[in-house]
Structure 1
Amino acid sequence: MYLGICNNTGLVYEGMSSADIPSIPAPSVTQAKLILEEADWLDLPKGLTTDPIRWLFREESFDPVTRTRRGRLYVPQAGQAQPNQQRVGLHPYEDPMMRQSGAGGKVAKTLYTFSACRTLLDMRNQGQGLTLALGNASAASPWRIIQSEALATGSVLVTLKSLSVFAIVPAVDYRKIATEHHPAVAEAIDRVLSSAFRETPTSVVDHCRAALTVLLSRWLFQSGHETNTALALDLGALAQRVEARDMTCVAKAAQIVARLHARGKPNEQHARRLRSLEVGDDEFALESVGLALREFGWAVR
């Protein structure tokens, strides 16, 4: 299955043997980048006209409740200059009266052309579990591939799950936090948001541990439960003191994040024969930061 985008109008064409049939209604098409390592975030597409040799995602459906998208994935057509000239059927959006018909009912157009992304199916687990960035360098969002299928037409259909941190870590209501604590809290949360789903699990856990240390210590001090000494404690000690104040869920989550942080150290892994941090561990750490904000009443409602 092929897909083409006119370099002049942006109209989309498709077909089994070539991209020559107008795609009606016009689909939503986005450049895509498979994220295999942290450095890949520095190599996002720069736009179709200036950086066309990139993957494309054609959206078929979007569910805002479950935050999932389904669509077809394409790669630049091999052996073709980008863009290249093709003969295509008349597009009703461009010529509704069909007055420009040429030989065989087709007209010449210059298209960026793409073919089904069989590359993904050749990867381990057909790419399931990998992260796909949609968009370009000016604005991109991370999505996890949770299912991949080969359609009868030869197309590659993928189901994506949003990895947006804003669905996990709520916005902070700084009106509920003492003014002197604003800079420390803001810096800690910004680091969490910047690292989420873009850095390694170890790095994300580290940032979440630092954020939880700030949140728990400031909550204890602001609530009158502790003196300034709380601002110098590590996360394990803070979790014990928070648990004593009936914040059991926050305390237990913080203790687990502290343990995960220790697992990120090679010496700790070797000494205790622990596995290294993986995708999923970072998501737990992010959820723990969100839990703390909600439990302390510091989340925007």
Structure 2
Amino acid sequence: MEYLAKKHGLWLEGAYSHLRLITPPPVVLPFSLNSGVNGNVYVFCEDYFDSATRVRRGRLYQSSGRDGDRFENVSLFPYPSPSKGCPIDEIYETANLNIKAGQEVILGDNLAQTCWTVVLAERRGRDAYYITLKSKTFLGVLPELLSEEIPPNNREDIHRAMNAVVEAASVQAPQPVIDACRVAATHMLLAMYPQITKKRAGANSREAGQWVVYPVCR
């Protein structure tokens, strides 16, 4: 089983028989499910983060109930390592959860939280629990949507179109980004002016992006 431990603000990892210092210091965040979890405390240890794709990958741990245990073999290099064992302040073990793709999770505590969607959840027995997340927010690329203000029938289309804009903005050439923006604007205007949906052009077409502007500009 893999362990994640904390001693004097330093994070360590490894097996129960040997813990080693993690360098550089990892990002470790409280983890919870929107649907709630059992009484254990869960933490997410980040291994990878890409702000362009808004994807975060890391390992999931749960409280082990062994806080204060003394570990005989602890390596704190380059700091001095204890010669007669080392009591650990906090210790977590590989999480024992059944998380499915598509579930919503929360990183952070009550004072500062972010919402993520599970893309992949992979287990290697009790040795490791890997989880890949995608942000539910636009990370500042665009203003966040006020979902409650969007008509229910248009909500999914607008969210999908805005996600396409954010994903295109950092990796695509200008023209595909413009096309994605045109489609997103079309969906928004169709939500604001449902009467124009009677026009013959579809909301996803380039033609719609051209004619849908006129009722707003007049």
* TM-score, normalisation: structure 1: 0.47
Q: Give 1 or 2: higher strand fraction.
A: 2
Do 1:131 and 1:142's aligned partners in 2 also have CA atoms closer than 8 Å? yes
Q: How far apart, in 2, do the equivalents of 1:18 and 1:54 lie?
A: 23
Do 1:85 and 1:111's aligned partners in 2 also have CA atoms closer than 8 Å? no
Q: Give the deviation of 1:158 after TM superposition.
A: 0.8
Match of 1:30 in 2: 29
Match of 1:138 in 2: 111
Query: Which one of 166, 184, 203 corresponds to residue 249 of structure 1?
Result: 203
Match of 2:151 in 1: 209
Q: Could you tell me which runs of 5 or more consecutive residues in structure 2 were left unpaired when the two chains were aligned.
A: 155-189, 205-211
Match of 2:100 in 1: 127
Tell whether 2:102 aligns with 1:102: no
Tell whether 2:143 aligns with 1:171: yes
Q: Give the deviation of 1:241 after TM superposition.
A: 4.3
Deviates more, 1:18-27 or 1:63-72: 18-27
Tell whether 2:120 aligns with 1:147: yes
Match of 1:239 in 2: 194
Report 1:45-84 matches (<5 A): 53-77=40-64, 79-80=65-66, 82-84=67-69
Query: Which one of 115, 128, 136 corresponds to residue 93 of structure 2?
Result: 115
Match of 1:232 in 2: none
Do 2:17 and 2:72's aligned partners in 1 also have CA atoms closer than 8 Å? no
> % of aligned pairs identical?
21
Match of 1:92 in 2: 77
The C-alpha deviation readout for 1:15-37, integer Å capped at 9, x for no partner, is: 12356222233221111111117
Tell whether 2:131 aligns with 1:158: yes
Going from structure 1 to structure 2, the CA distance change for 1:237 and 1:66 (only over 3 Å counts) comes to closer
Q: Give the deviation of 1:73 after TM superposition.
A: 0.3
Bigger Rg, structure 1 or 2 = 1
SS in 2 for 1:119: coil
Do 1:19 and 1:113's aligned partners in 2 also have CA atoms closer than 8 Å? no
Match of 1:288 in 2: none
Q: How far apart, in 2, do the equivalents of 1:161 and 1:242 lie?
A: 32
Q: Give the deviation of 1:53 after TM superposition.
A: 5.0
Aligned residues: 169
Q: How far apart, in 2, do the equivalents of 1:15 and 1:236 lie?
A: 53
Going from structure 1 to structure 2, the CA distance change for 1:171 and 1:66 (only over 3 Å counts) comes to closer
Q: How far apart, in 2, do the equivalents of 1:237 and 1:13 lie?
A: 53
SS in 1 for 2:88: strand
Match of 1:275 in 2: none
Q: How far apart, in 1, do the equivalents of 2:62 and 2:191 lie?
A: 48
Amino acid at match of 2:86: A
Q: Give the deviation of 1:166 after TM superposition.
A: 5.6
Q: How far apart, in 2, do the equivalents of 1:236 and 1:22 lie?
A: 54
Match of 1:5 in 2: 6
Q: Could you tell me which runs of 5 or more consecutive residues in structure 1 were left unpaired when the two chains were aligned.
A: 41-51, 121-125, 173-188, 193-203, 213-234, 251-291
Output the aligned Cα RMSD.
Answer: 3.7
Do 1:88 and 1:109's aligned partners in 2 also have CA atoms closer than 8 Å? no
Q: How far apart, in 2, do the equivalents of 1:73 and 1:157 lie?
A: 6
Do 1:2 and 1:18's aligned partners in 2 also have CA atoms closer than 8 Å? no
SS in 2 for 1:128: coil
Do 1:144 and 1:161's aligned partners in 2 also have CA atoms closer than 8 Å? yes
